[in-house]
A = this chain, B = another copy of it.
């Protein structure tokens, strides 16, 4: 087939213009005599790629100067362990708000190092809503408060930054980073794997308020220290250079498209179209998330009869719509519609869903 509309939850679709540039530069980067994937991370070529990527991300997300921006390996899951190691004393209390699968994962990584207080947990309600802020039981002296801005599997998204006055706010933004304007100054740490809204797999962005880097944390290897990574411009060891470069191409593309303000508008239109299609299907399709916290990024949905799932996936693929199978935790379907998914893709999916319903309704 030719290039399809790819609704994968991550690794996820990339702008064709970015892939074409990476393709053109695969044998040689900018007259350097070698591909960027072959050049030293300490050479002038990659140093400039890295500098430009950071500058562009700072512009894109309006990141204040008192925040460090790190480009690291290991994915968001590794950061979930490192947050505890770097910013909490051994056994210190930390507050976690759990609104889905990834919030639970975050706790699992932190537990060996800290005393986890689950300040709020949506699991009893099947993670279909976010516990009301008034019901959160925050600790008096937590090292930090952690939440998951968007739950990739359950399709639940915070539409506002929660107010917490007791401790710095840490947030996993893996699946919604740079999808709309965000007041970074409200956070202590924002982190996310790049492979959803920011581009390629294999590099993770960590945005950390610099004063937090002075916390002692707990005994750990130097390679696990954010302060060391910050002091070495994320080149404490060999970083994932090509992935960082490709992320930089996506940042440039996003800026050229109009920045996060424009993507906020597109993402609102895309998600509204999909939810309207589901809600307007008379129960043929179903999404059970409370309307106020439905994710703009990941739209899980179920067919009224699971026996139709296989036909739905097969026909969708034939129509050039791929990677719609839901996560194994929930089953059903899921359409991930990050920044990099064009509106035409979502329009094609909505049209296909209506056709499929007509044929099988």
Q: Which residues of A are at the interface with B, using a C-beta cutoff of 8 A?
A: 1-4, 6, 8-14, 16, 19-20, 22-23, 26-28, 31-35, 37-41, 43, 73-78, 80-81, 84, 108-110, 112-113, 193, 195, 200-203, 219-224, 236-243, 246, 317, 320, 322-323
A44 to chain B, nearest CB (A): 11
Q: Verify A40–B9 contact, CB threshold 8 A.
A: yes
A195 vs B202: C-alpha distance when bound (angstroms): 14
Which residues on the B side are within 8 Å of A43 (C-beta)?
Answer: 8, 323
Q: Verify B8–A38 contact, CB threshold 8 A.
A: yes
Q: Verify B77–A34 contact, CB threshold 8 A.
A: no
Assembly stoichiometry (copies): 2
Q: Verify B8–A35 contact, CB threshold 8 A.
A: no
A360 vs B28: C-alpha distance when bound (angstroms): 32
A314 to chain B, nearest CB (A): 14
Given contacts A2-B33, A323-B40, contact A19 B8 (CB under 8 A): no
Q: Verify A78–B201 contact, CB threshold 8 A.
A: no
Tell which of B1, B203, B223 touches A109, judged by Cβ atoms closer than 8 Å: B223
Which residues on the B side are within 8 Å of A19 (C-beta)?
Answer: 26-27, 35, 37
6 A/B residue pairs, CB under 8 Å, sorted by A: A6-B38, A8-B34, A20-B26, A33-B317, A242-B243, A243-B243
A84 vs B27: C-alpha distance when bound (angstroms): 39
A8 vs B202: C-alpha distance when bound (angstroms): 22
Which of A12, A33, A201, A246 has the largest count of B CB atoms less than 10 A from its CB?
A201
Q: Verify A223–B81 contact, CB threshold 8 A.
A: yes
Q: Verify B223–A80 contact, CB threshold 8 A.
A: yes
A1 vs B223: C-alpha distance when bound (angstroms): 37
Tell which of B22, B33, B202 touches A320, judged by Cβ atoms closer than 8 Å: B33
Given contacts A81-B223, A113-B221, A242-B242, contact A13 B27 (CB under 8 A): no
Q: Verify A200–B242 contact, CB threshold 8 A.
A: yes
A110 to chain B, nearest CB (A): 7
Which residues on the B side are within 8 Å of A195 (C-beta)?
Answer: 238
Q: Verify A236–B3 contact, CB threshold 8 A.
A: no
A219 vs B202: C-alpha distance when bound (angstroms): 26
Q: Verify B41–A11 contact, CB threshold 8 A.
A: yes
Q: Verify A322–B27 contact, CB threshold 8 A.
A: no
Which residues on the B side are within 8 Å of A81 (C-beta)?
Answer: 220-221, 223-224
Which of A14, A76, A238 has the largest count of B CB atoms less than 10 A from its CB?
A238
Given contact pairs A73-B74, A75-B238, a sample of 17 additional A-B residue pairs in the complex whose CB atoms are under 8 Å apart? A3-B33, A4-B33, A6-B34, A6-B38, A8-B43, A11-B39, A23-B27, A76-B237, A80-B221, A81-B221, A109-B222, A112-B220, A113-B219, A195-B238, A201-B239, A201-B241, A201-B242
A221 vs B224: C-alpha distance when bound (angstroms): 12
